Every structure is written in structure tokens, then in C-alpha cells.
Amino acid sequence: MENNAVISTENVTKTYGSGSVKVEALKNVSVTIQRGEYIAIIGPSGSGKSTFMNLIGCLDTPSTGRIFIEHTNVSKVSEKQLATIRREKIGFIFQKYNLIPTLNAVENVELSMSFAGVRKKEREERAKKLLSMVNLSHRLYHKPSELSGGEQQRVSIARALANKPSIILADEPTGNVDTKGGDNIMQILEKINSEGETIIIVTHDPAIAKRAKRVLQIQDGIVSDST
């Protein structure tokens, strides 16, 4: 694994089912992602995009092969260790936001920091700073139902950055917002990348993919570098 790599997969295969109903969602995938890269993963529905994202996000484990996150072989660690890696190394941005409806924006951003043991005052200050960074300083105490789709997605971006992860994984981050909101979200992600953060976006939209500096195409479980 290269010294500056944040993610590396070696001959990774993911198989679901068995016997005659066995499906290979990913086939012998070897990919290296360097620190600070901005990558789009693109492909049709059912191609293996979500499977690949789940694997590199430590939400699932490969059937065969190895996955390294910052030189740790996550294919062989315990569930507890995987949870720690997810919390400390990876920030997730979901298409459907996944905000807690009973919490306001500050509290939603604070939540992951509380799991990491950050003190109340420190996590509240950081949450407010992150929400200001995504232009939501006027919406700090609004709950998700009081926010637009674009605003909810910006809260989720702030939440993803809360524990200072080295990798941001964004699954269709513009999928549930209008064109203007989507452009705002992409500009925020591009700014975060310009400051050295590794950004990996799953998208079905070629226009979104073109904004990335590198594109990985997935077709029938096979990953190719189409940059």
C-alpha cells in the first residue's frame, strides 16, 4: 500500500447468496485512493456502486480480498474496531440526509462528537462553526422539518465533518435537492476538497461526475478508472 493512500482495495470480491442464486456484486477490485483526491464513482443501478461504498466505508466486509483504511487492514478487524474506524476516519453524507428529526441542526452535528467523547462545550462550539461554514448560521436551532432539502443536506455535510475524518463518502449528495441546491452542495464539497480533504462521491449524474478530478466507473461489479 502506498504511503499517501487513505484507501486501498486488493482483489476485493463481494458475493451475495449461494449456489444457483449467488451474485457477485463486485469482482476482483483493486483500487488505490490517495489522500486529498476528489473522486466520483459512477455506474448504472445495480452495477455495484453502493456495495463498493459500503465496503470502503466499513459498513460491510468483503467476501475475499483485503481493504486498507490508512494502512489498517479492515477486512480482519472486529466489529468494535470497525465502529471506531467509521467514527474517527470516515464522514458519511447520505442522499436522504439521515438527520434525527427531534434534534435541531446543532444537536444533529453534535451527536457524533458525543459518541466520540468530546465535551459538551467543545462540541457545541465546533457544531456552530461547521454550520456557519455551510452557510447555516441563521438556522442553528431549526429541526429538519423546518429546513429545506438543501439545508438538511448541508447539515449532514457539517455532521460528516464533525469528528475531523480523513475521508468523506457522499452517496448521491445532490439526489434529493433542486439544481440550485445541488450546485451549492457541490461547491461546498469542492471547497472542502481544496483544503485537503479526501472526497468520494457516488452519483448516477454525469454532470456531477465531471466535476471530480478522477472518475471510477463500475459496470457489472467491475471497477475501471476512466479518468
* Among 163, 164, 167, residue whose Cα is nearest residue 37: 167
pLDDT value for 63: 93
Cβ atoms of 218 and 39 closer than 8 Å: no
Amino acid in position 193 = N
Question: Mean pLDDT across the chain, nearest whole number?
Answer: 92
Instruction: Identify the residue with better confidence: 130 or 47.
Output: 130
pLDDT class of 2 with cuts at 50, 70, 90: low
Lowest mean pLDDT among 46-55, 97-106, 120-129, 174-183: 174-183
**Is residue 168 packed enough to be buried (19+ CB in 10 Å), middle (13-18) or exposed (0-12)?**
buried
Q: pLDDT band for 10, please (50, 70, 90 cuts).
A: very high
CATH number assigned to the domain with residue range 5-97+166-225, chosen from the 4 options 3.40.50.300, 3.90.180.10, 3.40.50.720, 3.10.20.600: 3.40.50.300
Q: Would you state the pLDDT for residue 4? A: 87
Q: Check pLDDT > 80 for residue 1.
A: no
Count the neighbouring beta carbons within 10 Å of the beta carbon of residue 65: 17
As a dihedral over the C-alpha atoms of residue 187, residue 193, residue 198, residue 199, rounded to 10 degrees, the angle is 10
pTM over 0.75: yes
The residue among 78, 62, 57, 75 whose CA lies nearest residue 6 is: 57
Give, for 88, the enclosing helix (H) or strand (E). Answer: helix 79-89
Q: Where are the domains of the chain?
A: 5-97+166-225
What's the pLDDT at 35?
95
| Residues 94, 57 contacting (CB under 8 angstroms) | no
Assigned C-alpha cell, 41:
464513482
